[in-house]
Amino acid sequence: MQKQLLDIPQENQLSRKLRRTLAWNIVTSTVHQSRFRFGLVLVLSIIFWAAVFCLFYDAFSFIDSMHAEVISLLFNTFFSALMVMMTFSTGILMYGGLYRSGESSFLLTCPLRAETIHAHKFTEALWFSSWGFILLGSPMLIAYGIVRDAPWSFFVMIVPFIVTFVVIPASIGSILCMLVVAGLPRLRLHALSISFALVAVGIFWISWSTFSSTKSQLLTTAWFEETLSRLAMTEQVFLPSWWLASGLLDAALRGESPDLTNQSTREALKFLGLILANALLLSLIASWVARWTYRKGYSNLQAEVPIRKRRQLFWLDELLTRGGSHVGNPIRLLLVKDLQIFRRDVTQWSQFIIFFGLLGLYFYNLRSFNYSHVYASLIGHLNLAVVGLIFSTFTTRFVFPSISLEGRRFWILGLLPIDRDQIVLSKFFFSFAGGLIPCLGLILLSDSMLGLPWSTIFIHLMCSLALCSGLSGIAVGMGASIPNFRESSPAKIAAGFGGTLSLVLSAMFIILLVVTVGFTHHFNLLQQTLGQVPLDTASQLLGSSGGQVVSLCIIIAGGLLATFLPLILGIRAFRQLEP
Amino acid sequence: MIEFDRTTRTYGSKVAVSELSLTIPRGELFALLGPNGAGKTTTIKMLVGLLRPSSGVVRVCGHDLVKETRSAHRHVGYVPDEPYLYDKLTGHEFLRFIADMYGIPRDLSDEYIAREIDRFELHEFANELAENYSLGMRQRLVFAAAFLHDPDVLVLDEPMVGLDPRSVRIVKDLLKKKTADGMTVFMSTHTLGMAEEMASRMGIMVHGNLKFLGTVSELREQVDMETRNLENLYLEITSSATRVT
């Protein structure tokens, strides 16, 4: 049989067909197998989009009087930050997709051009790295357009502006990734690490110099003008983010006459053309770079010898192994195993550090602003909810699948002289102990930066303790009740019915606790601050000392129930399980 | 059909394959044996274009794997030790993708897909998503994909892993028929019995060097008469520091 090599359009058509088929099958199988999760994600996404839209609508309405001074800077800062993030995120995604994935190994053995394989993985990476931009950017821009009474053409141009813009940083990220892999194989890790460090230092310096003003008092006109002047560095005419911001602002201009409006629209189209041209050019360059460097880079990367580390026992592992009684030894050894796996899994601890680190940074900067006592209390409660929600994402994403992930290794545990109860309990202690310090530490930081009284801090710490315990209990209990031993990907396990249910129960638990403590404490604060407050009987009762005690009892009871009920049910189910 | 011309591949300071010169003609089933870390997988990766040789040339049907990669791939079917399948494609969709990729016209591809589904008995699950397949099902589908475009060269890396005895028999019979029809097969395996049964020639690789190249009977002639069992012969060669040929 005469086999034909495909030409470029045919290869691209094949790649598009593959992506369409995969996308369709993913959607239909998700709808068919995980209707609950699909529906929940859809509803929550709509709620999130609507909430962001309302937030931006209020914000743009609030600053509409200062439009000329503020909006250009805000847009430029927002889009330039997104541009930098997208460059790095796409670079990382392309590294994984082109050089470390099973699919790329398969496609490289097929009669396909290197640039076709690159384009295929690039499209995938573009979707992954830009969905956040679309989710945040679309409600923001639509809200802006409504507030400014923009012409209909503005709303039509939002999509092409966003789509063409995201290609620019994504292409840059992809080009840098391929060049680093092909050109600096030995220094790759060092080059990336140094780049990250430099960017992180740069961002930190910019943030610090922008917001740590010593010349003007905070939240005054002078401070405002000073901060805006520091953000002016993002308004550079050669930056794609400036083209995007300028194009959108021109598109949203409604002139005094239709001719003026049309003129602004034409200006916007020029910027759109500029972005499109640069996006196409960078895509072409990325394709060329792939053609000349991808296969060579892949081969060089395969040939790299991994550095074999001689791993000595970490001091904490040694302490856990040797310390304590003989009775608790199996649980401690299981804890050591999970701790070692956690430390050696970059995905887990890096996400942990990033999320909690960002929260810590935000809480630390709370001291920069002056709040009224009531307002500070409200922010404190919201921060408590945020800490709980962040921790629940970790328990759902990593703790819930932990028992299922023992699936392939379960035969090892099954042969050891340990009870199944001990396996479940070790997961609970790992999650609880691991989350307790960051959660308590963050709440302490938040409340002290807000200047809250020690009584409030105590309540929040108790709440945080209950949240750590309850969320760990829910995740471990659900994981033991509904394990999935066939699946090896923690993301897929967490995305299943059990993981989704665990997330929903965790969210309900957080809301219950925070609303309980929030209502009673808030009304109590109102009574203390404002004296005789004309509240109804129920509100007065909630705000009284008795109400405080009742809320504390609810916190403790809720925490104990959320901890022990799912754990007991999980242990019972796990005992009878046949993996 | 397959030619290694003084091919060397290094990983840093370690030489994984050293000056390999080997020609496998049309219609031959060649088995490459060796202990773990001998260089078999590196050799196969160079043969399918995943690795570039540090020096020397690898050719398939006269095409250099580095300079004419796509032309060489056109002639090759590959069954890796850990095959990749798209979890969200059905078996039928995956075979359709392979057929389109090798430029098989639509009227022929339907016929070829039906042929491979029939040959590897994929009827029961061809329309299910690959994520639901067992290891044996996945391996059979990968074989079907490798044979779909009637390759001139077939590269197999531990091909029988996960296959039940019936499937193993199907593959063996197919390989015998295909080599008789002129297909060249390059197989890496730990299964000595399979190599003895199937291979026209075999090579034993140790530390990147081809310690032996020839038929089983040639191997027996060159080693001590007391150790006629292939397993003993193999163990003796791989533990010996002296080159036999």
The one-character DSSP state at A184 is -
Cα–Cα distance, A493 to A522 (Å, whole number): 39
Contact B161, A13 (CB under 8 A): no
CB contact under 8 A, B88 and A304: no
In chain A, what residues touch B83 (CB-CB under 8 Å)?
106
Question: Can you read off the two tokens belonging to residue A21?
Answer: 């088929």
Contact A441, A364 (CB under 8 A): no
pLDDT, position B245: 42
CB contact under 8 A, A302 and B50: yes
Residue B216 lies in a domain: no
Contact B167, B140 (CB under 8 A): yes
Closest to A135 in 3D by CA, of A198, A203, A82: A82
A14, A27, A32, A299, best to mutate vs chain B, most B CBs in 10 Å: A299
CB contact under 8 A, A103 and B86: yes
CB contact under 8 A, B89 and A3: no
Cα–Cα distance, B66 to B74 (Å, whole number): 14
Q: Which domain holds residue B141?
A: 82-150
Put simply, whether A1 touches B (Cβ < 8 Å) is yes
Per-residue tens of pLDDT for chain B, all 245 residues: 999 999 999 887 888 999 999 999 999 999 999 888 889 999 999 999 999 999 999 999 999 999 999 999 999 999 998 889 999 999 999 999 999 999 999 889 999 999 999 999 999 999 999 988 988 899 999 999 999 999 999 999 988 877 888 888 888 999 999 999 999 999 998 777 888 888 889 999 988 999 889 887 787 776 655 555 667 777 777 776 444 44
In chain B, what residues touch A102 (CB-CB under 8 Å)?
82, 84
Contact A364, A445 (CB under 8 A): yes
User: Alpha carbon of A335 to those of A27, A94, A98, A423, A431: distances in Å?
Assistant: 38, 35, 36, 9, 10
Contact A247, A271 (CB under 8 A): yes
Residue B239 lies in a domain: no
pLDDT, position A474: 94
What DSSP line would sit under A22-83, residue for residue? Answer: HHHHHHHHHHHH-HHHHHHHHHHHHHHHHHHHHHHHHHHHHTGGGHHHHHHHHHHHHHHHHH
Closest to A385 in 3D by CA, of A478, A474, A516, A494: A516
Contact A165, A271 (CB under 8 A): no
Kindly give the pairing relationship between strand B76-79 and strand B153-157.
parallel
Shortest Cα distance, chain B CAs vs residue A127, angstroms: 18
Cα–Cα distance, A245 to A74 (Å, whole number): 9
Residue B141 lies in a domain: yes
Closest to A168 in 3D by CA, of A282, A274, A289: A282
pLDDT, position B212: 87
Contacts of A454 (CB under 8 A, 6+ apart): none
User: Alpha carbon of A256 to those of A151, A419, B192: distances in Å?
Assistant: 12, 78, 87
Q: Among partner residues A22, A112, A303, which is closest to B101 by beta-carbon distance? A: A112
In chain A, what residues touch B80 (CB-CB under 8 Å)?
105, 109
Q: Among partner residues A111, A112, A305, which is closest to B12 by beta-carbon distance? A: A305
Shortest Cα distance, chain B CAs vs residue A226, angstroms: 54
In which region does residue A39 sit, left (phi positive, over 0), alpha (psi from -120 to 50) or beta (all else)? alpha
Residue B89 lies in a domain: yes
Residue B103 lies in a domain: yes
pLDDT, position B140: 92
Residue pointed to by tokens 């074989």: B143
In chain B, what residues touch A26 (CB-CB under 8 Å)?
88
Put simply, whether B15 touches A (Cβ < 8 Å) is no
Quote the ipTM score.
0.92
CB contact under 8 A, A103 and B78: no
Cα–Cα distance, A294 to B140 (Å, whole number): 31
CB contact under 8 A, B51 and A3: no
Residue B180 lies in a domain: no
Closest to A94 in 3D by CA, of A184, A178, A23: A178
Put simply, whether A307 touches B (Cβ < 8 Å) is no
Model pTM score: 0.80
Put simply, whether A304 touches B (Cβ < 8 Å) is yes
Contact A121, A98 (CB under 8 A): yes
In A, minimum Cα distance to B72 occurs at A111
Residue B16 lies in a domain: no
A106, A295, A307, best to mutate vs chain B, most B CBs in 10 Å: A106
Contact A414, A431 (CB under 8 A): no
Put simply, whether B104 touches A (Cβ < 8 Å) is yes
Closest to A120 in 3D by CA, of A11, A244, A7, A267: A11
pLDDT along chain A (579 residues), means of 10: 79 94 90 78 86 92 80 90 89 90 94 96 89 86 93 93 94 94 68 67 65 58 72 85 94 87 91 97 96 93 65 65 64 77 73 80 75 78 90 88 75 72 87 90 89 85 92 92 75 76 88 82 66 57 68 87 92 78
Give chain B's largest Cα–Cα span.
Answer: 58
Shortest Cα distance, chain B CAs vs residue A482, angstroms: 19
Tell me the H-state helices in A365-419: 373-394, 402-405, 410-415
Put simply, whether B106 touches A (Cβ < 8 Å) is no
Please count the residue pairs, one from chain A and one from chain B, whose beta carbons lie less than 8 angstroms apart: 90
In chain A, what residues touch B70 (CB-CB under 8 Å)?
5, 111-113
* Residue B60, beta-bridge partner list: B2, B63
Put simply, whether A14 touches B (Cβ < 8 Å) is yes
Q: In chain A, what are the domain boundaries?
A: 69-299, 324-575
User: Alpha carbon of A558 to those of A381, A399, A555: distances in Å?
Assistant: 17, 20, 5
Q: Among partner residues A5, A14, A29, which is closest to B100 by beta-carbon distance? A: A14
Q: Which of residues 23-42 of A touch B (CB under 8 A)?
A: 25-26, 29
Residue pointed to by tokens 């300079």: B67
Domain total in chain B = 1
Kindly give the pairing relationship between strand B55-60 and strand B209-214.
unpaired
